[in-house]
């Protein structure tokens, strides 16, 4: 089984300062076989990472729709924020991407879903993030797991890492895969490694936002 990190941000997200090179070092140190870069509303971090190590990184995006956030994996075309959930799903499907939902019930953060909106979309999804290491309590993850069971969807785990030290806090153990279709096939046998991050990790995101407002720029920004 591979150790797979399915939710991670780089400095292309407004609330992260992590470089793709730093993420690659952590993967090698911690035995993480595949890592999905899922920056907010952009593919730029994922493409930069894939250029460094195409065999290690999955090109993804965390997309803010008019209702909540979706996760796309094995993407080739960037999708902007602010589209309807259905339009976003349609665009992901047209490029053959695998579709999940990030922290659907974490109402302490942007991107949570109203259940009456999300439930009708379940047949069009490939999975749900049922464990996010950055939730403030266990409740949102438990509700997400119950929804996945209701919809017959695989549950995935992600660290939602915004700094390199967070990478691998939560992992999804999967059989080897090489593209979107093989990834989709192995999701049913996923096993989750679930460790919540301490609440203070959110201060890292706030610090990153502040640094960028004060003029911080990464080499590729």
Q: How many CB atoms lie within 10 A of CB 136?
A: 13
Surface-to-core class of residue 60, CB atoms within 10 Å of its CB (0-12 exposed, 13-18 middle, 19+ buried):
buried
Task: State the DSSP string of 31-79.
Answer: T--EEEEEEET-SHHHHHHHHH-TTTEEEEEEEE-SSSEEEEES-SS--
pLDDT at 217: 81
Q: What is the pLDDT of residues 69-105, one digit of tens each?
A: 999 999 999 999 999 999 999 999 999 999 999 999 9
Surface-to-core class of residue 202, CB atoms within 10 Å of its CB (0-12 exposed, 13-18 middle, 19+ buried):
middle
Q: Which CATH number fits domain 2-213: 3.80.30.20, 3.30.56.10, 3.40.50.20, 3.20.20.140?
A: 3.20.20.140
221 pLDDT exceeds 70? no
Residues 6+ apart with CB under 8 A from 97: 72, 73, 74, 75, 76, 180
**Who wins on pLDDT, 195 or 109?**
195
Cα–Cα distance measured from residue 78 to residue 206, given in angstroms and rounded to the nearest whole number: 25
- Sign of the alpha-carbon torsion through 42, 179, 18, 202: positive
* Per-domain residue ranges of the chain: 2-213
Q: What is the pLDDT of residues 142-164, one digit of tens each?
A: 999 999 999 999 999 999 999 99
First-residue to last-residue Cα distance in the chain: 36
pTM above 0.75, yes or no: yes
The count of residues in the chain is 221
Strand partners, 156: 129
For the CA atoms of 151, 77, 58, 11, the dihedral, rounded to the nearest 10 degrees, stands at: -110
How confident is residue 218, by pLDDT bands cut at 50, 70 and 90? confident
Q: Are 171 and 25 in contact (CB under 8 A)?
A: no
Reduce the DSSP state of residue 128 to 3 states and report it: strand
């Amino acid at each position: 089984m591979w150790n797979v990190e399915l939710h991670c941000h780089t400095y292309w997200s407004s609330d992260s300062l992590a470089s793709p090179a730093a993420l690659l070092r952590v993967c090698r140190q911690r035995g993480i076989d595949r890592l999905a870069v899922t920056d907010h509303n952009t593919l730029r971090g994922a493409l930069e990472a894939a250029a460094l190590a195409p065999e290690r990184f999955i090109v993804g995006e965390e997309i803010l729709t008019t209702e909540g956030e979706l996760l796309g994996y094995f993407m080739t075309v960037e999708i902007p924020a602010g589209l309807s959930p259905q339009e976003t799903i349609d665009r992901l499907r047209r490029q053959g991407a695998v579709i999940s939902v990030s922290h659907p019930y974490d109402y302490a953060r942007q991107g949570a879903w109203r259940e009456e909106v999300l439930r009708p979309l379940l047949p069009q999804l490939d999975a749900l993030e049922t464990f996010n290491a950055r939730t403030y309590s266990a409740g949102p993850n438990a509700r997400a797991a119950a929804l996945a069971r209701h919809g017959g969807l695989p549950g995935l785990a992600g660290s939602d890492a915004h700094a390199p030290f967070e990478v691998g806090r939560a992992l999804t153990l999967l059989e080897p895969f090489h593209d979107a279709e093989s990834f989709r096939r192995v999701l049913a046998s996923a096993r989750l490694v679930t460790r919540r991050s301490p609440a203070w990790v959110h201060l890292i995101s706030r610090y990153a936002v502040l640094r960028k407002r004060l003029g911080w720029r990464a080499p590729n920004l």
